[in-house]
Structure 1
């Protein structure tokens, strides 16, 4: 519900603060006083297109803000919560339009886009009449209203679940589908690459071992020659070998250490050196025993290394990385080949889901046709009560076989109306008279009362072209509709205004050479005077005042 509205420097409004309540509120005033400007400001706040003309002359910017009570607006609360904009049970929307025509928007203090205002506004306010912001002209809104009237939420929920599962299934199929040229080529390439690598059979650490063995085999002659020379230096009995000389030094130091303890340290070090030299000679001998000139083995190692290098170049990796490359490609091949089996399963499931969707959508179609009949009859009756004795309302529910899968089904719902005798029913947007369109909207809302989730309804001059008893019926309808939430109504007729719970008077004034519009809430006495003005014009007599009191009393009875 709209609880507060503030407007500054918009059109001919200088600075306006309004507190609004539940039930029915009417706005009345002389022609040209600016009643529709208030509706324009509200529409602008809810996402209508803005330009520089919205800014009051002599001002830099126009600013409009509103506070909505969300107690009876669950859809709006959900919208805000989904975007982490929720603020307890209220919502503050603010819009600023600059002299250059640029706009800025905020929702609960957070910057927002214009489309956000439109989306949120559709859950908060519905404006009926000669105004662009009118949900009943949208096919989707007509379908939603019919669904609400028919209490079709369970069928829609079941259909939505099928659609979500079907869409997920189709996404998985798209990901796994390898039947096209690219997918088949990928499969064949993987099969070839894995087979080639498996034939080579690289193993971890093999490249390092081959490199070491190749280095040893390729240098075997040098290793044997230089190794034997070194061994001779250490152990040759025909010459003074290193081990023999260390042994001689060890013995002489032993004799000296017996005479002087200071030689014990060097004697111990020389003894250790002799032992280590002997161990080194033993290790060297064993190493030389394992080295042989083996051209055949060298050729085998070189051939293996060449094969590994060739494949490494093909896969653009280092030779030592081939085992890991084989594991990675094998896993990819298994996923792709396994995906073919999974693909078949998903395709079967998709076909079943499509069948289930079609059946559920057909059930929803039949339920909509049934609801359309009852709603059309109720709206037709309402039109005739509202001064359209030949009014006829029809709802077409067309099942479109070519329609894409949708959570709302495959139906096209189209409201059509005939307001005059002999006139074929036409689309709502083709109704020429704004007054007729407003009354049609009122009849629809009355027939669907309790079904609409929008808490605030605005009717702009629904009384155009009517009067007398029909005007009183319109007023009663609006009052009854307001029992379900909040109704704001711009009116020229006292029969309508008398039915309201709250009455706002719009007046245009000239102050210091500048025109401005003011709006004030009327108390009981002021309401009687305003009703009398609406009944009798500028000259208000006691008889006119009595008539106004009688009209007001009758509305309250």
Structure 2
């Protein structure tokens, strides 16, 4: 439900606050008073643009929307982080003269598309050229499905679930076919490459280690000689001085002095540590010299292994490419081989998975066809019931000779089934049934749209989440008894929804539970409008003005009061059967 609407600086409206009732609210006023601006403000909350000619500096619309019963909308706003207070959320739209637009829901800035999507789930605006429900095939099918939600809803949900699963499996089947095709192209080559790699059994960095070893072996004599000289310089022999004996001599001399002066003891300890370290270094140098194998057999063996690994990288690098291209060494080749092994594992399981996927798809196709057939049958039954319900409403709307038909025809299979829904109208006996947007005049189209809304709302099972319908001059092109009938059916629609109507006809306004008047005034050559909430005496005066153009005529006032009394009597009579059923 839309609780309040505040409009600032749109057209002739400077600042107006509208408090809507829960049922039927009528908006009336003289021509040019700004009634259209009210509808313009409402459409702004649905993301519509504002004509720059109606913008004065900065135009703003604030709407307070009740979330009671709108579970999905409330969940979406909660996910958005929107703030609510007492079950209501504030929706704000601001448009500047240079065309910039801002929107907020519950204090959270949102794109205009998000604003339209969220608010549009609760509010529907119908204008003289905006009966999309009667023109859009998708909307017509949706209307039929909502009319028979109890019967159609579970089938439609199941059909869409199967459709989604089938879509996912079809995509997976295409992926598996591509994988198996790739297996046929590359699988044997990958397997052969991995087998060759396994036979060679390289380890990471082995080629680099071999190059280092070959370089060392090629210079074995030189390296051994250098190591021997280094060891000799450290430990010496009987013919000459060396570091180790000299260091031992220094330690012994300093030790004797330390017995006299204890401050030298730390230096003695350091000399001992250096002597031990020097001894260890000399031992390692000796072992290094002994380890150098300069034999031709070892050099030949290392060269052969390096050649084998080089060929392996050259031959398999292109077959097992990595993200940066062919591998350039053994380490990179081993990394890409692991990826190839994973690919082979995928190939091995792809055929079995494909068989299972294909079997499931065949089962889904059968279930989908069965569900689509049941959905069509349910829609055909619902179409007959909706046709009868709308036909009955048209009889009440002074269109007894019009014949409405809700047609369900076959079309290509889609997520919603195999059905195309069209609402057809023969406006008088002998006329062909045509799409209602083509067959009906402006006044007839408005009444057909109203009949459809009443029928749909009457069929709703959940009354807690009442939608909001805004009708902009639905009574255009009609009068007399038809106008009375429209007022009565709007009042009936308002039992299950909030109805906001901009009207010129007193016969329509008289049936409203809440009556708002747009009042125009001029000061210093400037025209502006405000909105007034009318009590019963004020309503009688406004209805008299609408009837006769004069709110002071006793005859017009009497007629206006009579209209109100008759509307009240009709409402009481309509409520009596419902009260009895309760």
| TM-score calculated relative to the size of structure 2 | 0.81
Task: Tell me, yes or no, if the aligned pair for 1:202 and 1:322 is still in contact at 8 Å.
Answer: no
1:491 maps to 2:503:
yes
Structure 1 match to 2:206: 206
* Inter-partner Cα distance in structure 1 for 2:79 and 2:362: 33
The structure 2 residue matched to 1:112, chosen from 110, 115, 129, is 110
Partners of 2:535 and 2:281 in 1: CA distance = 117
Give the aligned partner of residue 472 of structure 2: 460
Equivalent residue for 1:536? 548
Inter-partner Cα distance in structure 1 for 2:71 and 2:279: 94
Aligned match of 1:522 = 534
Change (3 A) 1:276 1:240: farther
Listed one character per residue, the Cα deviations across residues 496-533 of structure 1 (whole Å, up to 9, x for unaligned) are: 22221111223333332123333321111111222233
Corresponding residue for 1:52? Answer: 52
Shift of 1:379: 0.5
Partner of 1:64: 61
Q: Is the 8 A contact 2:466 2:498 kept in 1?
A: no
**TM-score, length-normalised on structure 1?**
0.84
Rounded Cα–Cα distance in structure 2 between residues aligned with 1:302 and 1:316: 21
Match of 1:327 in 2: 338
Give unpaired runs (5+ residues) of structure 2.
318-325, 570-582
Q: Paired residue for 2:78, among 81, 86, 91?
A: 81
Q: 1:374, CA displacement in angstroms?
A: 0.3
Q: Secondary structure at the match of 2:457?
A: coil
Deviations 1:425-484 (A, max 9, x none): 222333553322211111111111245666211223333344444333322221121111
1:278 and 1:519 map into 2 onto residues whose CA distance is 106
- Structure 2: how far apart are the matches of 1:280 and 1:500? 107
Which residue of structure 2 lines up, in the alignment, with residue 481 of structure 1? 493
| 1:440 is the counterpart of 2:448 | yes
2: CA distance, partners of 1:38 / 1:231: 103
Q: CA deviation at 1:285?
A: 7.1
Equivalent residue number for residue 298 of structure 1: 299
* SS of equivalent residue, structure 1 residue 169: helix
Matched with 2:385 is 374
Which has the higher mean CA deviation after the structures are superposed, 310-319 or 501-510? 310-319
1:240 paired residue number: 239
- Tell me, what secondary structure is at the counterpart of 1:384? helix
Match of 1:470 among 473, 482, 495: 482
| Alpha-carbon distance between aligned partners in 2 of 1:276 and 1:87, rounded to the nearest angstrom | 78
Paired residues of 1:43 and 1:133 also in contact (CA < 8 A)? no
Name the CA distance, whole Å, in 1 between partners of 2:272 and 2:542.
128
Alpha-carbon spacing, 1:548–1:463, altered in 2? closer, same or farther (3 Å)? same
Map 1:219-234 to 2 at 5 A.
219-223=219-223
Describe the SS at the equivalent of 1:421. coil
In structure 1, the partner of 2:572 is none
Question: Which of 535-544 and 495-504 deviates more?
Answer: 535-544
Is the contact made by 1:127 and 1:134 (CA closer than 8 Å) also made in structure 2?
Answer: no
2:424 alignment partner, SS class: strand
Aligned-pair distance for 1:277?
Answer: 9.0
Distance across 2 between alignment mates of 1:282 and 1:396? 102
Instruction: Quote the Cα distance in structure 2 between the aligned partners of 1:32 and 1:280.
Output: 107
Deviation track 1:244-303 (CA, whole Å, cap 9, x = no partner) reads x959x98xx79x979x989x9999999999999998888777766655543233222112
Checking the alignment, whether the CA contact within 8 Å between 2:132 and 2:139 is kept in structure 1 is no
Match of 1:554 among 555, 558, 566: 566
Relative to structure 1, the CA distance from residue 224 to residue 120 in structure 2 (aligned partners, 3 Å threshold; closer, same or farther) is: closer
CA distance in 2, matches of 1:294, 1:133: 98
Gaps of 5+ in 1: none
Could you tell me whether the CA contact under 8 Å between 2:179 and 2:350 is conserved in 1? no
TM-superposed deviation, 1:15? 1.9
Return 211-220 or 351-360, whichever deviates more.
211-220
RMSD: 3.9
Cα distance in 2 for partners of 1:168, 1:29 equals 57
Q: 1:495 to 1:240 in 2, by over 3 A?
A: same
Work out whether residues 220 and 293 of structure 1, in 8 Å CA contact, stay in contact via their aligned partners in 2: yes
SS in 2 for 1:369: helix
- 2:121 — aligned with what? 123
CA pair 227-83 structure 1, distance change in 2 beyond 3 A: closer
Q: Is the 1:51–1:101 Cα contact (8 Å) retained in structure 2?
A: no
Residues in 1 aligned to 2:270 and 2:103: alpha-carbon distance in whole angstroms: 90
Partner of 2:92: 94
Q: Map 1:335-350; keep pairs closer than 5 Å.
A: 335-350=346-361
Matches within 5 A, 1:154-193: 154-179=154-179, 185=185, 187=187, 190-191=190-191, 193=193
Change (3 A) 1:274 1:43: closer
